[in-house]
Chain A
């Protein structure tokens, strides 16, 4: 089963929920940190990294000796990553989406592919948790291809938890797509509610069953609860604002490890998710 943890708004507690859940469930679990722009899960799980590889995406490499200046590459590129000026071909690798159109269209076979660095992929483990994350190169714009590379590491069976990036656009979709359940984490504030609504709509487009965790549950108003009820999104856990929890988070600690009652609650959360995902699977 693959559970993705997402939120819409940033800073609501995705990583807190993902890492504490991973530390609480019985048996082997895999954590994929797909927030490749700002990966944080490793700061709490502290895995021993064993493997690190650079992830590249293909971009055009022009052989000017073969090029006859026909401009077909420039015409096919919708991302303006190639310009032909006279005898020269300029490429803008940072604009390239790696579609391969220019290589395929070039009648002279003058365009090969070389790599642009997207970032690195690191794998490791700790206390029965298999860990994978991507770290996007600072200056790189496109997160989805690196997110897909992290997702390629998904176990074929067993439990996988995905820590998704904030927002509702392409990086989040890349992290949530084809998962079995989306656990949304929000806070009961106007910002939290507004962005939760966007996230719920995104999950509906993907047709994935979902549930909700309300973090800092006593800090805002009641509107998130009312919204969740009206949408039929089950509230699976509430975490109160507790200065002790906030301070332990600031130090990179998992409160499911220091406060045993929370470990039991995260185990119960997992059981609820498994039931809901199974029910939805049967209905399909």
Chain B
């Protein structure tokens, strides 16, 4: 099975619009939205939810005022200053470490597990989709991302789907780390801006750190052609494939406003053409081809 993860480092470079366009150009793929914190792919996919499951994160401290004697041990032990006046736990500050629970001499602190999101298995017009919603101001996004990817793999296996396209989150922190580990390859959607270049470099470094083969495409390339050359040089100098350029085109936004993918909205336009070429290049990269051939040879045996 092949899993392509779409990343960018910087937010707003076009990860989700491109993920959706790729899905519209592919037969038999499964979509996975690993941006559980600000998930947007469903806005273009309009998934019909078939299965919804609660996601329980860690526990959270709750002090029972009946049992609490006000000794202050919990306040002394808490490294997040999460226990305020009147021995009330600030749920936002509580890290869920449970140290106060274990050290309370009165055993007055409960540690209930908190439901901090939901995950879904859905159907879309381009195939099945696994996605999630993390509650607002919640932690454990990395755990939820790992869960969503695991469920995506299980479902793909069950339905005989060879390709998973995963829409990743921005940044390089916990949910991104959970998105790249074990993926077949990562595509970084860069934009030709000083910040786009800076953040792309960090995203590449992250993929290398976790030994995931990485390739780069440039979105909105015509905003600064000089910076495109810089990106392409940096990428090639690092021995990585550049899989093409997509122009800045307001059609992406127009398609989004209508809840459509770019090829559905303007299948014969220039932007669609560019995206189609990028997609073809991606599927020809060594990492993607190698994995397909191993899948095929495994099937033949």
Which residue numbers of A lie inside 8 Å of B, CB to CB?
8-12, 15, 35, 37-38, 40, 43-44, 76, 78-79, 97-101, 104-105, 136, 138-143, 165-171, 173, 177, 189-191, 194-195, 198, 201-202, 205-206, 219-221, 243, 246-247, 249-252
Contacts and interface: CB of A to CB of B under 8 A. Distances in A.
Interface string B192-232: 11111011001001100110000000000001100100000
B2 interface: no
A168 B117 CA distance: 13
B137 A250 contact: no
Contacts of B95: 97, 99
Interface residues of B, number: 60
Interface string B146-182: 0000000000000000000000011111111100000
Given A8-B38, A11-B12, A189-B256, A169 B97 contact: no
B102 interface: yes
A105 B12 contact: no
Contact of B209 (A138, A165, A221, A247): A138
A9 B191 CA distance: 16
B12 A12 contact: yes
B119 to A, nearest CB: 15
A280 B40 CA distance: 33
Interface of B: 9-13, 16, 37-38, 40, 43, 58-59, 77, 79, 92, 95-99, 102-103, 134, 136-139, 141-142, 169-177, 191-196, 198-199, 202, 205-206, 209-210, 223-224, 227, 248, 250, 253, 256-257, 259
A139 B206 contact: yes
A141 B171 CA distance: 10
Nearest to A205: B137
Contact of B77 (A12, A104, A139, A201): A104
Contact of A190 (B191, B206, B256): B256
A101 B100 CA distance: 9
B103 A104 contact: yes
